[in-house]
């Protein structure tokens, strides 16, 4: 599958989301500034005259996690449906570049666009596509204020509860009966804040032996995660675990834990990344990771757009643009991997 790209010189290669992710969502990350723009060039995956083409548009378009999981399913499902698929967008975390890519792809009138909704500033570009009757869905991370037809991703409040409950279950299994848990993330992103609210609510349940230590900004970078974690360790001596809503911050936090001599005393959990990152569970560098059921993003993203273009039902006799014949939300669910299932996880990736 070909990947079109656009490079922003103003930022080092960030992240890696897992929900993002994070966020996993996958995990959602905030815009950090504007960059010098270059033209986005789009190239079809299959033949150049494909009559029905669907485009995935997002920043971090060459992320190994996306290539290995999301894009493989996108290409396979496109073949099953007899349509074409393509990937477009900047290779770095370049939100202005993603906006430019959306606008350029929309001008080409594809059959539909899947947008990785990394930032609320994508709203205007998405709305312009809808107004031009180019179908758009968001995947992995939502842009809820936009006119997108559907969101394929996670219930972020439920995801927060899932993460917290999975972490506390891990601690109990390792005979850590009580203590405080810290959280770090990109605190300007609404989806991230919703996940954190879910974590807070789960830890605040009456009778819980675990409490929230603090929530800190990590800028979705290893450096940010390390700095935040060093300060947290210093300020919260009762700390037993930390949750980082992206993988890069988790890597930095694990380094800070080791440097503080706290390995085995403070468990680090983070958003999913690639297989090398997953193997850190086996080495003990991190205690576990979480993320969405990634393959469902592009499978149902493409399926939703295809069904919108080939509707089998009419809702209340209304035009499909007025009453879309597809669900407004597809919950892809989430996974949690720790030492209890890492061997099975890695074996399944062979």
pLDDT digits (tens, 9 = 90+) for 6-49: 322 222 233 333 334 334 333 333 322 223 333 333 433 434 57
Q: What is the CA radius of gyration of the chain?
A: 20
Residues 6+ apart with CB under 8 A from 210: 168, 171, 178, 179, 180, 181, 203, 240
pLDDT digits (tens, 9 = 90+) for 266-294: 999 999 888 899 999 999 999 999 999 99
Q: CA torsion 187→191→196→198, rounded to 10°?
A: 160
Measured at the CA of 265, the angle between CA 263 and CA 268, to 5 degrees, comes to 65
Query: What's this model's pTM, rounded to 2 decimal places?
Result: 0.77
Burial class of residue 193 in the structure, from the number of CB atoms within 10 Å of its CB (0-12 exposed, 13-18 middle, 19+ buried): middle
User: Where do the domains of the chain lie, and which CATH numbers do they carry?
Assistant: 156-289+337-348 (3.40.50.2300)
Q: Is 205 left (phi over 0), alpha (psi -120 to 50) or beta?
A: beta
């Amino acid at each position: 599958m070909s990947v079109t790209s656009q490079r922003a010189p103003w930022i080092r290669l960030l992240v890696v989301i897992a929900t993002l992710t994070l966020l996993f969502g996958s995990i959602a990350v905030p815009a950090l500034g504007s960059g010098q723009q270059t033209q986005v060039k789009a190239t079809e995956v299959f033949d150049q005259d494909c009559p029905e083409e669907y485009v995935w548009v997002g920043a971090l378009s060459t992320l190994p996690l996306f290539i290995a999981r999301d894009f493989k399913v996108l290409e396979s499902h496109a073949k099953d449906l007899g349509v074409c698929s393509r990937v477009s967008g900047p290779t770095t975390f370049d939100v202005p570049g993603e906006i430019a890519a959306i606008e350029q792809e929309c001008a080409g009138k594809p059959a539909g666009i899947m947008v990785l909704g990394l930032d609320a500033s994508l709203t205007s570009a998405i709305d312009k596509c809808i107004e031009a009757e180019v179908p758009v869905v968001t995947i992995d991370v939502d842009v809820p204020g936009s006119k997108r037809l559907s969101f394929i991703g996670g219930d972020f409040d439920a995801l927060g509860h899932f993460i917290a409950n999975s972490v506390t279950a891990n601690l109990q299994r390792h005979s850590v009966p009580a203590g405080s848990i810290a959280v770090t993330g990109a605190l300007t992103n609404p989806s991230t804040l919703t996940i954190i609210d879910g974590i807070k609510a789960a830890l605040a349940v009456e009778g819980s032996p675990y409490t929230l230590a603090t929530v800190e900004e990590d800028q979705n970078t290893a450096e940010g995660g390390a700095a935040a974690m060093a300060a947290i360790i210093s300020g919260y001596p009762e700390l037993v675990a930390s949750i980082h809503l992206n993988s890069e911050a988790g890597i930095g936090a694990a380094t800070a834990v080791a440097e503080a001599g706290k390995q085995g005393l403070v468990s680090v959990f983070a958003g999913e990344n690639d297989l090398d990152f997953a193997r850190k569970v086996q080495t003990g560098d991190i205690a576990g990771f979480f993320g969405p059921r990634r393959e469902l993003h592009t499978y149902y993203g493409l399926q939703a757009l295809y069904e919108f273009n080939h509707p089998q039902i009419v809702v209340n006799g209304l035009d499909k643009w007025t009453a879309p014949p597809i669900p407004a939300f597809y919950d892809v669910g989430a996974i949690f991997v720790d030492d209890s299932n890492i061997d099975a996880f890695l074996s399944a990736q062979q």
